[in-house]
Amino acid sequence: MEHSVLSKNDAQKLDSQDKLAQYKEEFYIKEDLLYMDGNSLGLLSKRAERTLLTSLEDWKQHGIEGWMDGEQPWYYMSEKIGESTAPLVGASPEEVINTGSITTNLHQLIATFYRPEGNRTKIVADALNFPSDIYALKSQLQLHRFDPAEHLIQVQSEDGRTLNEDTIIDHLADDVALVLLPSVLYRSGQLLDMKKITEAAHEKGIIVGFDLAHSIGALPHQLHDWGVDFAVWCTYKYLNSGPGGVGGLFVHERHLGTSPGLAGWFSSRKDKQFDMDHTLTPAETASAFQIGTPHILSSAPLLGSLEIFLEAGIENIRKKSLAQTNFMMKLIEQELDSYGFTIANPRHDERRGGHVSLEHDEAASICKALKAKNVIPDFRSPNVIRLAPIALYTSYEDIFDMVVRLKEIMENKLYKNYKNERGIIA
């Protein structure tokens, strides 16, 4: 900008230059609603609606024959979605499958790749991870008769917000069998250096997995080239698959052919599955890590949603996401400097995911006041307001208007009208 003070005209000028602006029309957004929670649940697109309705129509018209004869055959849907997802994570189609949820997929891959032997029994995670991942790791250790208090090592944060990769690497000792980390930390939005961690772990013979919940659909990955052993993700955040949308997983090609730790009927090779043999012949691709029958109606929206990502390009989405989070942070500093906010996410582009993390002592009540002003934010205990401008459907003017409404709340102390405590769902 030519001047230091950002204005609404600046936002409108950026919107006029935005090559992705057209995609906003593809999403259902209420008039005057500023939706800043796409990092928790993405909005519905018309394409996702269409492909969901197509699967419903296939059911209506074909009944059980929809598995093979529908417009979107169900039997191969998971593989088709995996093929469309692969470019977003830097993988070959054979390495990716759409299945399960983050936690069920995590159980599957830990059961497959956690092989404690001799002194090598420990798992390294982090102290800032989303609770579900830690629950899964603890339960897997217990299944092996190991005490999580001793065998789960959680790397601590030096500032309560971020992790130091060198500190993580220092914990990768000879007694560690596996490391699981988030790609982007869910509170602060810090993006970890996955390549560096993977290389350091492999030098010591340690299996490496990542939870991509807060990065897939927001930024590019190179999982295959980095040598990551496995990864899991959800699809209802940046990928806009809908509430409870079916998740996905990646297994590096060097591990394909490994028998799944948790075998099930859909682990089978497709041509052998209906032989009904009691000896499993696993698929030779990531399909082997499926367990039960695919959840078709929770998968179908992805067929449409992923069309948009492949068309728009993940590199373009990342470029806009970084520009928008930078624009938001500058506006927050410009307009809200005197109101007690701290920007808790990393400022450097290469260290930041897709959301801005604001800390404030009254965070819960401020979020309630924002909702009363038709802004949808996200609260994370104890004091974090997460704000996610989504490249496909958030404009720069939306960001500007959001900061204006937040400033009105702070100037008039409207947050004082609400209890500073989370609701049942935060």
Q: Answer whether 281's CB lies under 8 Å from 255's CB.
A: no
- Calculate the alpha carbon distances from 60 to 64, 186, 300 in Å: 10, 40, 15
Residues 6+ apart with CB under 8 A from 153: 122, 123, 124, 125, 171, 176
Q: Does 27 carry a binding-site annotation?
A: no
Q: Answer whether 210's CB lies under 8 Å from 182's CB.
A: yes
Task: Measure the CA–CA gap between 79 and 269, rounded to whole angstroms.
Answer: 12
Q: Does 130 carry a binding-site annotation?
A: yes
Residue that is written with structure tokens 């018309």 in the block: 46
Q: Does 133 carry a binding-site annotation?
A: yes
Q: Does 281 carry a binding-site annotation?
A: no
Task: Measure the CA–CA gap between 286 and 302, rounded to whole angstroms.
Answer: 18
Q: Answer whether 345's CB lies under 8 Å from 390's CB.
A: no
Q: Does 147 carry a binding-site annotation?
A: no
Q: Does 214 carry a binding-site annotation?
A: yes
Q: What is the DSSP letter of 148?
A: H
Provide DSSP, 354-389: S-EEEE-TTHHHHHHHHHHTTEE-EEETTTEEEEB-
Task: Measure the CA–CA gap between 139 and 291, rounded to whole angstroms.
Answer: 19
Q: Does 132 carry a binding-site annotation?
A: yes
Q: Is the dihedral of CA 82, 73, 59, 53 positive or negative?
A: positive
Q: Residue 356's closest CA among 340, 374, 373, 344?
A: 344
Any alpha helices (H) in 250-340, and if so which ranges? 296-312, 314-336
Q: Does 182 carry a binding-site annotation?
A: no
Q: Does 361 carry a binding-site annotation?
A: no
Secondary structure element (H or E) that encloses residue 398, with its range: helix 396-411
Count CA atoms closer than 13 A to 250's CA, side-chain side.
Answer: 33
347 exposure class (CB count in 10 Å sphere: 0-12, 13-18, 19+): exposed
Q: Which residues sit in the known binding site for pyridoxal 5'-phosphate?
A: 102-103, 130-133, 211, 214, 236, 265, 293
Annotated binding-site ranges: 102-103, 130-133, 211, 214, 236, 265, 293
